[in-house]
Chain A
Amino acid sequence: MTPSEALPVPAPVLSIRGGALGFGARALWSGLDLEVNPGEFIAVLGGNGTGKTSLLRAMLGEQKLDSGVVLVDGHPAHRGHRRIGYIPQQKIVAPGTPLRGRDLVMLGVNGQRFGPPITTRDDRAAVDALLTAVGAETFADRPLGSLSGGEQQRLRVAQALADDPNLLLCDEPLMSLDLQHQRAVSELIDRRRQQHGTAVVFVTHDINPVLSMVDRVLYLAQGRFTIGTPDEVLRDDVLSRLYGTPVEVFRSRGRVIVVGAPEAEHHHEVIA
């Protein structure tokens, strides 16, 4: 920040300084500096095994970095941060689960609370409001196990919004959803960002469903990374340098396709 600036620059919601992580001899990434500002949408891209999820876990305070710091709201990341909402990928609900749609959201409101399991009027009102916000009223009372992937993910968005987060961490939330539900769920996340200035870190193997929403891309590959706007990063020369091998980027009808990346598609993973 320089004194000449008229408007104050907002404090970053999330900042990583000199972050490094590796498993054994294999470095996932090092020297990672990233600042995420309120209302910013960051997509984290990269193939399997590039440490996307580990990075997210570091932001959640569940993964210790080899070096560097992760600050959330200016303080070191820790588990159970009240202002972080976490949206995981869809998963199969165990058949013996006595929960309905609205109960998944309720867990976001009071699931971490010990003590007699009494649901207060306030808790119930909060859940109703969250269900309305994601348009889930119609299936809120159906058993969780009977809901489609898209319905389940809407509820997970509602669950993540329970504590009015200023940072949303999303780990492949669109995985195994059809196109229509991919759009619906990503629009919910984007709307939250625009209306409340919530920063979004969105880990994904496919940027296309969120391409129009993304401010910056963090692209991880081959133990290296690059950060920039989609136009700065999703280019032949940039990605070829990152991968260390010729890579072509095609853009067609607002979609981006990366061809020739050694690990991008179909698990052609190269691990030394």
Chain B
Amino acid sequence: MTFVDPATYLQLLALVQNSIIAAAVLGIVGGLIGVFVMQRDMAFAVHGISELSFAGAAAALLLGVNVVAGSIVGSLLAAALIGVLGAKARDRNSIIGVLMPFGLGLGILFLALYPGRSGNKFGLLTGQIISVDLPQLGLLIAISIVVLVALFIVWRPLTFDSLDPEVASARGVPSRALSIVFMTLLGLTVAVSVQIIGALLVLALLVTPAAAALRVSSSPVLVPVLSMIFGFVSAVGGILLAIGGSLPISPYITTISFAIYLVCRLIGSRAKVAR
């Protein structure tokens, strides 16, 4: 592994600045939605959605249409299927278990049929942010901001519904509509993540930061804030490290995110002993 000299690093930095912005926004949104992924126990669903998102993106690549759009279609389809068929937690896991290999297989089929450069092929599975062109980056950033705003608007009712659906519903929270909204937001976030970090590694930005934050706090304010910071540091830190060397970005992101989790676990268990 070789690192470039500082002058070249700065030049590279300027070249990838839009990728960094996209990663930063995704890190923040992923950290935030991850708080609800944990509360609603949907980590496995995130993985399931990302495989169908991958299939959608691969299909788009093959057909020569917008890859981000393909990714979103796959994501939303998976989110809707899981939302409709897997309302109960027990059903949900088996539905996801069935959907996931099917999506992954479909995606691999589309890639095998795709005659273009092979560099693009692996990108969807393991991350390719640097090769995303400018208009698509803009689309990713716009989607992330939409999710961010929507999450803020539904924050309280969604928290209520995640904790206690019966009481929330009795108090007038539209439980069913909220769950559709949440699955849609989750689908969009996953579609963006697939473009940046790759379908196989989505959990590193959508679950790990929130899981880490929950280790050190149970405050409804501190947990989302920490989770957003962790997601941001992982995503942006990963790119900053990667452009200096010759390795791909994703392993940096997953390693930083995992390291943060480990540190939080350690702090969390210390705090418990101290109590």
Binding site for B on A (CB under 8 A): 60, 62, 79-81, 84, 86, 88, 91, 93-100, 103-104, 107-108, 110-117, 143-145, 156, 159, 169
Please tell me if the beta carbons of B152 and A96 are within 8 angstroms of each other in the complex. Answer: no
Most buried by A among B171, B213, B218, B223: B171
Chain A positions within 8 Å of B155 at CB level = 116-117
Chain A positions within 8 Å of B163 at CB level = 93-94, 97, 99, 104, 107, 144
Most buried by B among A97, A99, A159: A97
Q: Which of B35, B41, B170, B213 contacts A80 (CB 8 A)?
A: B170
Please tell me if the beta carbons of B41 and A96 are within 8 angstroms of each other in the complex. Answer: yes
Q: Which of A91, A111, A145 contacts B171 (CB 8 A)?
A: A111
Measured in the bound complex, the distance between the Cα atoms of B167 and A80 in whole Å is 10
Chain A positions within 8 Å of B224 at CB level = 98
Q: Which of B164, B168, B218 contacts A143 (CB 8 A)?
A: B218
Chain B positions within 8 Å of A79 at CB level = 169-170, 172
Please tell me if the beta carbons of B41 and A86 are within 8 angstroms of each other in the complex. Answer: no
Decide if B132 is an interface residue (CB 8 Å cutoff). no
Chain B positions within 8 Å of A110 at CB level = 156
B152-199 CB contacts (< 8 Å) to partner A: 152-157, 159-160, 162-164, 166-173
- 8 further contact pairs, Cβ within 8 A, besides A80-B170, A96-B39, A104-B163: A98-B217, A107-B167, A111-B156, A111-B171, A112-B156, A113-B156, A116-B152, A156-B167
Measured in the bound complex, the distance between the Cα atoms of B169 and A88 in whole Å is 12
Q: Which of A84, A91, A93, A114 contacts B153 (CB 8 A)?
A: A114
A79-B170, A144-B218 given; A96·B157 CB < 8 A = no
Decide if B22 is an interface residue (CB 8 Å cutoff). no
Please tell me if the beta carbons of A112 and B211 are within 8 angstroms of each other in the complex. Answer: no
Chain B positions within 8 Å of A169 at CB level = 170
Chain A positions within 8 Å of B219 at CB level = 98, 100
12 inter-chain pairs at a CB distance below 8 angstroms, sorted by A residue, are: A62-B170, A79-B170, A86-B171, A96-B39, A97-B39, A98-B219, A98-B223, A99-B159, A111-B159, A112-B168, A117-B152, A145-B218
The residue on A at minimum CB distance from B171 is A112
Give the size range of B's interface with the partner: 35 or more
How many cross-chain pairs have Cβ atoms below 8 Å apart between A and B? 102
Most buried by B among A95, A99, A143: A99
Chain A positions within 8 Å of B41 at CB level = 94, 96
The residue on A at minimum CB distance from B154 is A114
Decide if B119 is an interface residue (CB 8 Å cutoff). no
The residue on A at minimum CB distance from B211 is A96
A86-B167, A145-B218 given; A111·B39 CB < 8 A = no
Q: How far is the CB of B206 from chain A (nearest CB, A)?
A: 13
Please tell me if the beta carbons of A62 and B152 are within 8 angstroms of each other in the complex. Answer: no
Q: How far is the CB of A128 from chain B (nearest CB, A)?
A: 16
Please tell me if the beta carbons of B169 and A116 are within 8 angstroms of each other in the complex. Answer: no
Please tell me if the beta carbons of A96 and B214 are within 8 angstroms of each other in the complex. Answer: yes
Measured in the bound complex, the distance between the Cα atoms of B246 and A80 in whole Å is 58
Q: Which of A62, A99, A114 contacts B220 (CB 8 A)?
A: A99
Q: How far is the CB of B160 from chain A (nearest CB, A)?
A: 4
Q: How far is the CB of A163 from chain B (nearest CB, A)?
A: 9
Chain B positions within 8 Å of A81 at CB level = 172
B96-152 CB contacts (< 8 Å) to partner A: 152
Decide if B77 is an interface residue (CB 8 Å cutoff). no
Decide if B38 is an interface residue (CB 8 Å cutoff). yes
Q: Which of B38, B159, B160, B220 contacts A96 (CB 8 A)?
A: B38
Chain A positions within 8 Å of B166 at CB level = 86, 88
Q: Which of B156, B160, B170, B220 contacts A98 (CB 8 A)?
A: B220
Measured in the bound complex, the distance between the Cα atoms of B221 and A58 in whole Å is 36
A96-B38, A108-B171 given; A113·B217 CB < 8 A = no
Chain B positions within 8 Å of A103 at CB level = 220
Chain A positions within 8 Å of B152 at CB level = 116-117
Please tell me if the beta carbons of B168 and A98 are within 8 angstroms of each other in the complex. Answer: no
Please tell me if the beta carbons of A112 and B214 are within 8 angstroms of each other in the complex. Answer: no
Q: Which of A62, A86, A91, A117 contacts B156 (CB 8 A)?
A: A117
Chain A positions within 8 Å of B210 at CB level = 96
The residue on B at minimum CB distance from A142 is B218
Most buried by A among B152, B154, B220, B224: B220
Q: How far is the CB of A210 from chain B (nearest CB, A)?
A: 21
Most buried by A among B153, B156, B173: B156
